[in-house]
Structure 1
Amino acid sequence: MRIVPLLLTLSIALFSATSVEKKIDKNQKNLKTKIADGKNISSKLNDVAKDILKEKKKLKDINSQIANLRRNINKNENTVKSKVLDLKDLTIQNTNLMENKKKLEKKIIKVIAEDFSFYLISDKNYQDSSDNILAEEVVNKIGIIMQKEFLKLSHNYDEINKKISIQNSQIKNIKTSIKKLKSKQVKYATLKKSKSKSIKKLNSQKTLYKKRLLKIKKERDTLRATFRKLKIIKEKESQAQKQKKLSATKAVSSKSKLNGKMTVRQIGSSYQNSRVRKYKGAKTIAPLDSFTIKRKFGRYTDPIYKMKIFNESVILTSKTPNAKVKNVLNGKVIYAKKTSVLDKVVIVENSYGIHTIYAHLSQIAPTIKVGKQVKKGYVIGRVKNDLSFEVTQKNYHINPLELIRH
């Protein structure tokens, strides 16, 4: 008689578990879709962010060029003003010299004319007289003095003309330079306007993508909350079955809990607060032989979107394609399968409560199975380019770069 109620209880429990399993599967599919959508939008956001940074750098360079041009134009304009003033002074000097030269020429002509006319009208006796000789001597002296003065004025006139020619040439060159600089200034102003429009357009795209990403995140968080709730229900049902000491139910319950634990966990979440512990043990080998660090561990604020993000893992970019991924500590494989978001994932349980997680693998080694003991340096798979590497210890996250030599 005891068997019938027991079977009835078991049937109800199994039916309830099946119903919950269906809900979990449905929510898992929805969650995968939302995660994929979010990944796609995030990729577009990153592209837009890079474009914005490039355009801002170009705009900064253009502004710098415009500032330099403005300084050069101002400098040249000041030089032109100074040269124009010098030219004005020289022109005035030249005009005065020309007037003095003309006056001197008139004086010379007058003296010569008077001397010559006097010589013509004077009689021979006067010409031979001492007075005439004295007059000629005076005229000659005056002529020599005026000739020297005339030569001096002519020399000054030539010098000033040379200076005027040089100043005119310099002013012409400076004006040509200013014209070229102003032409460049117009060109850079046009470029600046174009880049400003481009940045404005990219910012509009960024705003649109951010809204879509936040919407997807909200939907994803809702699905995760539902998923956690269903998982709790499932665990409660498993506990109820355990209490009835049904060995078959206990086996199913144990397997369900293991699978649930591994599939629900999102490695490297950017949206959840994480507890961090500093690693104090000895350093070990890196999972890749040759690599660069693409993304570091910990909190940072995105420079474009001003969003606070926490990276629970690091991303190591292999310097060689299709590189081997090595286990970094002795341990046991507790998870090895493909996922929808993180590609192929291997999790190794190590000593002292440490777990090492290797994600985005392109291949998992055929020898890697759940339960297999693996030594340090054992090849667990391959990666095309980027390896996501995460380390935890007793519910705390550890900076993977503190664990490995690099």
Structure 2
Amino acid sequence: MIKIFFLLILANSLIFSSNIDKKIKQNKEILNSSSEKQESTNLKIKELADKIEAQNSNIMNLEKDIKQINDDIEQHQKLLEEQKNKLLELKSKSTELIKEKNSNEEEIVNTIIEEFSISMALKLASENSLQELIDSEIYTLLSEHSKEKVTKLNNNYDAVSSSTKVNQKEIEKISSYIEDRQKTKDKLTNLKQKHSSSLSSLESQHKSYQEELNKVVKQQESLKNLLAELNILKEEENKKAAAREEEKRRKLQELLAAKKNTPKEVVVEEPQEIQTADVRNQKFAKDLNLDVRKIGSSTDGVKIVSYKGAKTIAPLKSFKVVKNFGTYYDPVYKIKLFNESIVLKSNEPKSKVVSVLNGKVVYAKKNAGMLDNVVIIQHEGGLHTIYSHLDEISPTLVVGKWIKQGYVVGRVDNSLTFQVTKDSSHINPRELINL
């Protein structure tokens, strides 16, 4: 009996120490996973930075083009003003020529009428007189001079009018060119605004990825702290275990000393009760073999098994599946990823999240880094269900509590990430729940 008791104490210590080592190993795996995600996020940020730099270069080129067009427009605007001034001068000159022409025409008409009247008078007085002949010759010369003058004025006027029309066409041509340039400038300005908006969007994405990286770093630090705490816990628990062993040895010595005067049943009953409690606790700790990985991870080393049991209820009452389990390609970076969960979008605000099976709460943590609020429940057959990105965790939920199917573990406003594992493998949640 004494040997059995010592063997139980030794087994108890070994199992407890093994459990602490297992937890440390699991958290180291999570830490390595976070490091991989940090490297992936760093790569994404570098790609975003390259895009921002390229966008900046593009905007600079656009600004050069806009300046060149502005200079060209300014140059042609000066030419246009010169042509407009020239046109005004030509119009003014044309107006003067028209006035002069009209005046000359009026003068010629008056002269012809006057001379014609004189000629007629002379003819009526004496057709053979010498003065009549002289006046007739003067009239002829005057008429020819007037006609020549009028013709000259008409030619000048036509030349000016022709020059004015040519100049007007040139001005219209230049005006049309400047209008086209202005449209081009407006187009480039719109492109510049569009690219500036695009740059702002890229910078916003860059900021988002930096925030994501910070979250990963904080999660990594949190995991490091957890590892440190677990190491401390291991030392403390080893001390406690040694103290318990010493206490048990002392009690055993007391039992041995009192053996002669104590019924056998009493000696057997006390250690048997302690043994039952330790075995139950250590069995639970041994089954706590959870691999809570990041939501998106590499496809390498992912183990998947099929669920053969009966289907059960879904964690949400009204929802739609917005992200499926399995391999997918990132639409932005074109990289192959593996999603170990499904994402359910709730159709109702503050929707209740329930346990899909009977089980025991083995993990419940608020603000658990990238997973936000997380609850993990252990079920029969090595199954574990993980409910992450909860907006609230039920205040009645505590680690170690046994809960039934349908028990409210928390609430979500938007979406729930639901994951199922069996031992060290993953199960497609669609195989477990009714959809």
TM-score (norm 2): 0.50
Aligned to 2:350: 322
Matched, 1:128 2:135: yes
Aligned to 1:388: 417
Q: Please report how far the alpha carbon of residue 387 of structure 1 lies from its aligned counterpart in structure 2 after TM superposition.
A: 2.6
Aligned to 2:394: 363
Matched, 1:156 2:154: no
Secondary structure of residue in 2 paired with 1:315: strand
Aligned to 2:242: none
Q: Aligned partners of 1:174, 1:76: CA distance in 2, in Å? A: 12
Matched, 1:339 2:357: no
Residues 292 and 220 (structure 1), Cα distance of their counterparts in 2 relative to 1, 3 Å cut: farther
Q: Please report how far the alpha carbon of residue 345 of structure 1 lies from its aligned counterpart in structure 2 after TM superposition.
A: 3.0
Q: Where do residues 189-338 of structure 1 align in structure 2 (5 Å cutoff)? A: 212=217, 249=275, 252-253=278-279, 255-262=281-288, 264-269=289-294, 273-276=301-304, 286-291=314-319, 296-299=324-327, 310-326=338-354, 333-338=358-363
Secondary structure of residue in 1 paired with 2:149: helix
Q: Aligned partners of 1:346, 1:284: CA distance in 2, in Å? A: 15
Contact residue 283 and residue 405 of structure 1 kept, 8 A: yes
Contact residue 352 and residue 410 of structure 2 kept, 8 A: yes
Aligned to 2:257: none
Larger Rg: 2
Match of 1:139 among 138, 145, 156: 145
Q: Aligned partners of 2:380, 2:5: CA distance in 1, in Å? A: 38
Corresponding residue pairs, total: 349
Q: Please report how far the alpha carbon of residue 265 of structure 1 lies from its aligned counterpart in structure 2 after TM superposition.
A: 0.5
Q: Aligned partners of 2:170, 2:374: CA distance in 1, in Å? A: 81
Aligned to 2:428: 399
What are the superposed Cα offsets for residues 35-69 of structure 1, whole Å, 9 maximum, x if unpaired?
7xx69x97xx79x989x969968985x87777777
Q: Aligned partners of 1:269, 1:257: CA distance in 2, in Å? A: 27
Residues 56 and 338 (structure 1), Cα distance of their counterparts in 2 relative to 1, 3 Å cut: same
Residues 217 and 339 (structure 1), Cα distance of their counterparts in 2 relative to 1, 3 Å cut: closer
Contact residue 288 and residue 326 of structure 1 kept, 8 A: yes
Residues 320 and 93 (structure 1), Cα distance of their counterparts in 2 relative to 1, 3 Å cut: closer
What are the superposed Cα offsets for residues 205-258 of structure 1, whole Å, 9 maximum, x if unpaired?
6898599579759969988x99xxxxxxxxxxxxxxxxxxx9775774454133
2:412 corresponds to which letter in structure 1?
K
Q: Aligned partners of 1:268, 1:207: CA distance in 2, in Å? A: 17
Contact residue 374 and residue 386 of structure 2 kept, 8 A: no
Q: Please report how far the alpha carbon of residue 395 of structure 1 lies from its aligned counterpart in structure 2 after TM superposition.
A: 6.1
Secondary structure of residue in 2 paired with 1:339: strand
What are the superposed Cα offsets for residues 82-106 of structure 1, whole Å, 9 maximum, x if unpaired?
89899999999999999xx99xx9x
Residues 214 and 63 (structure 1), Cα distance of their counterparts in 2 relative to 1, 3 Å cut: same
Structure 1 stretches lacking a partner, 5+ long: 227-245
Contact residue 360 and residue 401 of structure 2 kept, 8 A: yes
Q: Please report how far the alpha carbon of residue 349 of structure 1 lies from its aligned counterpart in structure 2 after TM superposition.
A: 4.8
Q: Please report how far the alpha carbon of residue 394 of structure 1 lies from its aligned counterpart in structure 2 after TM superposition.
A: 8.0
Q: Aligned partners of 1:308, 1:220: CA distance in 2, in Å? A: 31
Q: Aligned partners of 1:364, 1:16: CA distance in 2, in Å? A: 35
Secondary structure of residue in 2 paired with 1:391: strand
Structure 2 stretches lacking a partner, 5+ long: 116-129, 232-270
- Aligned residues: percent identity? 21
Q: Please report how far the alpha carbon of residue 275 of structure 1 lies from its aligned counterpart in structure 2 after TM superposition.
A: 2.0
What are the superposed Cα offsets for residues 147-204 of structure 1, whole Å, 9 maximum, x if unpaired?
332332242244345456656766887888899999x69x979979x97997999699
Contact residue 80 and residue 171 of structure 1 kept, 8 A: no
Residues 345 and 355 (structure 1), Cα distance of their counterparts in 2 relative to 1, 3 Å cut: closer
1:276 corresponds to which letter in structure 2?
I
Residues 156 and 266 (structure 1), Cα distance of their counterparts in 2 relative to 1, 3 Å cut: same
Q: Aligned partners of 1:75, 1:164: CA distance in 2, in Å? A: 21
Taking only aligned residues, the RMSD between alpha carbons, in angstroms, comes to 6.7
2:283 corresponds to which letter in structure 1?
K
Residues 71 and 293 (structure 1), Cα distance of their counterparts in 2 relative to 1, 3 Å cut: farther
Secondary structure of residue in 2 paired with 1:343: strand
Aligned to 1:238: none
Residues 89 and 402 (structure 1), Cα distance of their counterparts in 2 relative to 1, 3 Å cut: farther
Residues 146 and 8 (structure 1), Cα distance of their counterparts in 2 relative to 1, 3 Å cut: closer
Contact residue 362 and residue 377 of structure 2 kept, 8 A: yes
Q: Where do residues 73-112 of structure 1 align in structure 2 (5 Å cutoff)? A: none
Secondary structure of residue in 2 paired with 1:325: strand
